[in-house]
Amino acid sequence: MEVFQVAHFVRLRSSVRSSRYLAAADDGTSVFLCGRRGVHNAVWAVEPVIGVIPGASAGPYVRLRGAYGRYLVATNYGAGRGPSDGVVAEQRDLGVRPTPPGYLWQAFRRRDSFVLRNGAGRYLRANGRFRRWHKDVSVAGDNASTMMQWRVEVVPPMASRPSLVDLPAQLMHRTNPPVESDLSRVIRYVRADNAGRYGEQEWAPVRVNTNNLTHLRLTMAERLGQNCDAGQITLCVRAGRYAHLSPLLVDLPMGNNPIHIVVLNHGTPARENPQTMGSRSKISLKLLVDSKSKKVLFAEAGKEFVDFVFSLLTLPVGAVVKLISAGTMQGSIGRLYQSVEHINASYLLPNKDRADLLQPKVLHPDARELLLLQPESGGAGGSPLARFKLYTCAGHCTTAAMEAKAACPQCKKAMDTEVALVLPSASSPAQSSAAASGGDGESSGYVKGLVTYMVTDGLEVTPMSAISSITLINKFSVGKDVELAEKYVSIAMDEGLGILKAALRSDTVLSDVFLAKKK
């Protein structure tokens, strides 16, 4: 892996077919062996992957991102008639977390070259040793073939931003130019702020009938208004909810699939390092309110907000008390929490830690993100929710412990190797692969995206429909003088904790949080 530790961008050249490079095809899906070293399609960005990956062998790993922002993946589709032919390699979106094993790659030195093994234990293979017209690339089991050996060429980053008239070379090998029906697609775009942040509710659609990058820049500048100069923006592809942003330096791929574009301004921190930017840790919500009575009738919500309110049910009671402060809790649970805080340690059993009661670990792996909390850190300002961890011994016996350093009952070694916890609700490999190709991350959280939900003031959640909303409005308006208005709000950590606190004591949660007068 040392070759990937020093590289941000690489070319992968076949050791046997020495003039052929692994390239992202301009259909946006397939990969093949390309004889043109200088095209941008033959350059792959290297993304280190941190942490333990369920279902994958020991790391470290990287992801390889191509010219269209999509990732090199070993699919489940057979590459030939027999099992020894392996599976097809493709470009795919990254729409799930953690990263599926098929997206993960390691480099191991073999003779004077490298072999690339993925998280499932298969190896990237060039084809066409004897049939020279054969340009396919597959992923197969290791049979010591030299066709699995690659030369890794480190590509230095560009010294300056390419101009509109000086873009990198790209694949343009089609004999017949494509017609409009081959290129018409919907672009979903959002403009990021100077820090590179944007809201998931801010995406807007526009239909284009060409794949030309310059035309797309001009279209984006026109849509964004008079203060937007096509020469002063960079268009970045986001190929899936959890993909890094990839500056678009070549024309769009052929086809009609929708593409997500994030627009960055030149001269901002986000433009200098687009991989550090992402969606804001906020959720947008549209409320229908009665301005006279200061009450919320209902909210129109997307997947993010519904996942958030559903995730409140995953919290242990001790975690809830810590999040909203024991002194402000109604009832007796706050005083019970304070009793545990203040009891002398001499009254506790020697093998018991009061932190297990005061700071219980959260089992659900996405709970911290869904609750809009910051990641764990070692300092006092870290997340109030500890992550549930499991440990095993170096011999990987069939035992696990919730605390490091416990002695393995089988081999007696210290159980200090962290292992991944996979919940029964986690997606199967087939579901993960399907979700990854869809690109919207619907396997994370609880409910499906692309649906609008109605959330009442008392947090009753149902799919949005015209009939249900009209019925609720009529029910609220009977015998009353109402003045209905729309109100847009953003939910970050403070508002999220306010919703949690209000949900424990009130039937008018949204009104209490967003319409109550500030004290």
**C-beta of residue 131 within 8 angstroms of C-beta of residue 276:** no
For 239-268, b/e burial (b = at least 16 CB within 10 A) is: bbbbbbbbbbbbbbbbbeeebbbbbbbeeb
**What pLDDT was estimated at residue 180?**
77
The highest-confidence range among 37-46, 180-189, 380-389, by mean pLDDT, is 37-46
Domain covering 180-279 in this structure, CATH number: 3.10.20.90
Mean pLDDT of 133-141: 85
Tokens for 206? 């526009």
pLDDT of residue 84: 58
The contacts of residue 307 (CB under 8 Å, 6+ apart) are 370, 444, 445, 446, 447
**Helix, strand, coil share (%) of the chain residues, nearest 5:** 25, 25, 50
Most confident among 24-33, 96-105, 123-132, 170-179 (mean pLDDT): 24-33
| pLDDT on residue 428 | 43
Alpha helices, DSSP H, located in 206-348: 213-224, 269-272, 303-311, 317-324, 333-342
pLDDT at residue 278 in the model: 52
Does residue 276 have a pLDDT over 60? no
What confidence score (pLDDT) does residue 369 get?
Answer: 54
Residue 435's pLDDT is what? 43
Is the Cα dihedral 319, 320, 323, 327 positive or negative? negative
As a whole number, the mean pLDDT across the chain is 79
430, pLDDT greater than 50: no
Q: Which of 430-434, 438-442, 514-518 has maximum average pLDDT?
A: 514-518
Provide Rg for the chain, Cα atoms.
27
- Average pLDDT for residues 457-472, to the nearest whole number? 85
Highest mean predicted confidence (pLDDT) among 126-130, 224-228, 425-429 = 126-130
Highest-scoring range by mean pLDDT, 44-48, 80-84, 423-427? 44-48
Residue 112 has pLDDT above 70, yes or no: yes
Under CATH, to which class is 2-154 assigned?
Answer: mainly beta
With a cut of 60, say whether residue 377 has pLDDT above it.
Answer: no
Span of 86-90, 183-187, 294-298, 369-373 with lowest mean pLDDT? 369-373
Q: What pLDDT does residue 210 have?
A: 87
Intrachain domains 2-154 and 180-279 with the same fold: no
Please give the backbone phi and psi of residue 326, each rounded to the nearest 5 degrees, phi first.
-60, -35
Q: Does residue 287 or residue 173 have the better pLDDT?
A: 287
- Across 95-102, average pLDDT: 85
Higher pLDDT, 430 or 152: 152
| Digit-coded pLDDT (tens) for 38-80 | 899 999 999 988 766 777 777 788 999 999 999 999 998 887 6
Spans of all domains in the chain: 2-154, 180-279, 283-302+452-514, 321-361
Over 90: is that where the pLDDT of 359 sits? no
Six token digits for residue 273 = 């390092």
The tokens of 481 are what? Answer: 């003088």
